[in-house]
Amino acid sequence: MLIDLHLHSTASDGTDTPAEVMAVAAAAGLHTVALTDHDSAAGWAEASVAARQLGLTLLPGAEISCQIGGIGVHLLAYLYDPENAALLAETTRTRRDRVDRARRMVQRMSHDLDITWADVLEHVGPAATVGRPHLADALVALGMVRSRDEAFDTLLHSRSPYYLPHYSPEAEQVVRMVVAAGGVPVMAHPRADKRGRIVSLADIADLATAGLAGLEVDHRDNAEEDRQVLRELARDLDLLTTGSSDYHGTGKDNRIAENTTRPEVLEQIVALGTAERVVRP
Ligand code: AMP
Ligand code: FE
Ligand code: FE
Ligand code: ZN
């Protein structure tokens, strides 16, 4: 029974529509998946219809952009109420500022490169959460870089002169909000240090005190020795440990189901969250 709880669609920066993501998941032999677009539940309805048709179990979710003292933290939130006012206010604020930030990054680039906001919009799906991957797609289409990967290594890197951060709420606050909204918060790729600073184990312990339910241990961006550290921390703090692909379609090398979550862990996530929100075939 294969379980992959971290997938992106065109509702954020993935390249497959929500229905296509479900089809790819079914073709890969997955039994249960979660759709976790950045700061958005916009793909849930389409994914739910497709999942039922394909015989997949779906946990609606999102990957919420947060920070601790300016260091970026991604929180996977499963089975929460998408209409919860507090959470919706935060994700809406983030999504709005992501557009503004992307426009300002394009403005910065336009001093040196022949790129406009209209070039970017061609690559942003309806209702998509805008991110640097969409800027990367425009740069690829304009022939300025060969791939999203190359764009992130150069023009879009966090140390590039064109880079700007976007608004994101405090992680501890979001953990509390997700729990209050009937959801289950799991910290995504806690040791992904290739593209920016990461928070300390003490910071993770504080999130656990606030209600964090688990750590995404098996993820390609956590090095093997870090996974061991995370497993020990999870034991100490009584946290669940998950594994997921972070599939983005053709936007990233991550292959669907390349990491998976154990069925016992899935059961506990469902038991902690609003179980009625699980979409079953
Ligand atoms: P942003 O949230 O706009 O700052 O952009 C970060 C997003 O870009 C993350 O959600 C990743 O999914 C994506 N990303 C990061 N590095 C790469 C890469 N090398 N290739 C493709 N996508 C990437
Ligand atoms: Fe992404
Ligand atoms: Fe992430
Ligand atoms: Zn992700």
219-271 pLDDT, tens per residue?
999 999 999 999 999 999 999 999 999 999 999 999 999 999 999 999 999 99
The DSSP bridge pattern shows strands 57-68 and 30-38 to be parallel
Distance 112 CA to ligand 4 centre (A): 30
What's the one-letter identity of residue 10? T
Using most ligand atoms within 8 A of CB, pick from 145, 149, 252, 254 the residue to mutate for ligand 1. 252
pLDDT score of 195: 78
Distance 132 CA to ligand 1 centre (A): 6
Q: Partners of 240 in the beta sheet?
A: 214
pLDDT score of 194: 87
Q: pTM surpassing 0.85? A: yes
Question: What sections of 72-200 are H helices per DSSP?
Answer: 85-110, 117-121, 132-141, 148-153, 171-180
Pocket lining for ligand 1, CB < 6 angstroms = 13, 38, 131-133, 148-149, 152, 195, 248, 251-252
pLDDT tens digits in sequence order for the chain, 281 residues long: 999 999 999 999 999 999 999 999 999 999 999 999 999 999 999 999 999 999 999 999 999 999 999 999 999 999 999 999 999 999 999 999 999 999 999 999 999 999 999 999 999 998 999 999 999 999 999 999 999 999 999 999 999 999 999 999 999 999 999 999 999 999 999 999 987 899 999 999 999 999 999 999 999 999 999 999 999 999 999 999 999 999 999 999 999 999 999 999 999 999 999 999 999 99
Contact 196, 95 (CB under 8 A): no
Q: Whole-angstrom Cα distance, residue 209 to residue 197?
A: 22
pLDDT score of 139: 98
Using most ligand atoms within 8 A of CB, pick from 38, 132, 220 the residue to mutate for ligand 1. 132
Q: What is the DSSP string of 2-30?
A: EEEEEE--TTTT-SS-HHHHHHHHHHTTE
Distance 271 CA to ligand 2 centre (A): 27
The DSSP bridge pattern shows strands 184-187 and 214-218 to be parallel
Contact 254, 248 (CB under 8 A): yes
Closest ligand to Cα 34:
4
Closest ligand to Cα 245:
4
Atom 11, ligand 1: which residue's CA is nearest?
133
Q: Whole-angstrom Cα distance, residue 106 to residue 116?
A: 6
Q: Whole-angstrom Cα distance, residue 164 to residue 149?
A: 18
Phi, psi values for residue 141, rounded to 5°: -60, -35
Identify the burial level of 126 via C-beta atoms within 10 angstroms of its C-beta, where 0-12 means exposed, 13-18 middle and 19 or more buried. exposed
pLDDT score of 184: 99
